[in-house]
């Protein structure tokens, strides 16, 4: 038996009283999932969108305060136009459906990244979700859209230069994630072992969890497995 806090927890079980506050996920493997099944890459993105819905709901239900997901990077514009269009279409569909459920489910949404290049319809949906999110407190889902870690850092540095304040706190507040605690854990499905320009400043002391499971195959059990691994880590933040 292992002990987490005051509650006895069996080996391999999640201690739901000792959860990370903030989990970040690089949603990777949609294209490979589709290719393995002889399907177009767009089918993988559609399945991945459903996985995101399931995982976000589960994280909210168990008490995770913040969930940040990497939906579309500044580099993803290099992908084929039909694939980019499909990803944006899926996001529009998800946000349109989410607007009706956000207040009922107590899920807030915030977007990290430059939304200027997005379609007027998508920008309007983003503004609508932002407005709804100001009305209540609840689990916050951060969607990184047209986001890049280097771009995030450069943007914050420019803001500090304009105001003549280069303290660590001032810099952090000018990131897209300003006011939000750094992720405790970053999960990357799909077998790759890199951050891919994701939350580079914020990831300074995050625990990095990699798994070969492709994102469309990610389940609640996979999230639990990652949390159990996290709860076994000894976080020293540079100390002894």
Residues classed as catalytic: 28, 76
Kindly report the backbone phi and psi dihedral angles of residue 161, in degrees, each rounded to the nearest multiple of 5, phi listed first.
Answer: -65, -40
Contact 160, 183 (CB under 8 A): no
Please provide the distance, in angstroms rounded to a whole number, between the alpha carbons at the two ends of the chain. 26
Contact 9, 54 (CB under 8 A): no
Which residue would you say has higher pLDDT here, 94 or 189? 189
Q: Does 3 score more than 60 pLDDT?
A: no
How far is Cα 189 from Cα 26, in angstroms, rounded to an integer? 7
- In 3D, which of 215, 224, 234 has the Cα closest to residue 58? 224
**Would you give the DSSP letter of residue 212?**
S
How far is Cα 67 from Cα 143, in angstroms, rounded to an integer? 9
Highest mean pLDDT among 19-33, 79-93, 105-119, 126-140: 19-33
Across the chain, mean pLDDT equals: 90
Q: Say what the pLDDT of residue 1 is.
A: 30
How far is Cα 135 from Cα 54, in angstroms, rounded to an integer? 24
User: Facing residues of 8 across strands?
Assistant: 3
Per-residue pLDDT averaged across 212-224, rounded?
96
Contact 17, 5 (CB under 8 A): yes
pLDDT 10s digits, 101-150: 777 777 889 999 999 999 999 999 999 998 888 887 889 999 999 999 99
pTM: 0.90
- Domain 20-147+185-231 is in which class? alpha beta
Which residue would you say has higher pLDDT here, 100 or 5? 100
The encoded tokens of residue 184 equal: 């405790």
């Amino acid at each position: 038996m292992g002990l987490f806090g005051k509650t006895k927890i069996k080996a391999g079980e999640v201690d739901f009283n000792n959860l990370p506050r903030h989990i970040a996920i690089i949603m990777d493997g949609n294209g490979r999932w589709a290719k393995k099944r002889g399907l177009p890459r767009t089918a993988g993105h559609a399945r991945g969108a459903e996985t995101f819905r399931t995982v976000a709901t589960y994280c909210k239900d168990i008490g995770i305060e913040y969930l940040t997901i990497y939906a579309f990077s500044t580099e993803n514009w290099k992908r084929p136009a039909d694939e980019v269009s499909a990803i944006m279409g899926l996001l529009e569909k998800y946000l349109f459906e989410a607007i009706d459920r956000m207040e009922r489910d107590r899920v807030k949404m915030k977007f990290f990244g430059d939304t200027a290049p997005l379609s007027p319809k998508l920008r309007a949906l983003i503004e609508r979700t932002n407005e709804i999110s100001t009305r209540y407190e609840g689990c916050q889902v951060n969607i990184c859209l047209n986001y890049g870690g280097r771009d995030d850092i450069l943007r914050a540095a420019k803001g500090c230069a304009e105001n003549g304040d280069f303290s660590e706190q001032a810099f952090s507040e000018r990131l897209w994630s300003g006011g939000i605690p750094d992720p405790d854990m970053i999960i990357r499905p799909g077998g790759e072992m890199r951050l891919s320009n994701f939350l580079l400043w914020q990831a300074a002391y995050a625990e990095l969890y990699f798994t070969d499971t492709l994102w469309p195959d990610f389940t609640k059990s996979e999230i639990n497995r990652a949390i159990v691994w996290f709860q076994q880590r000894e976080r020293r933040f540079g100390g002894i």
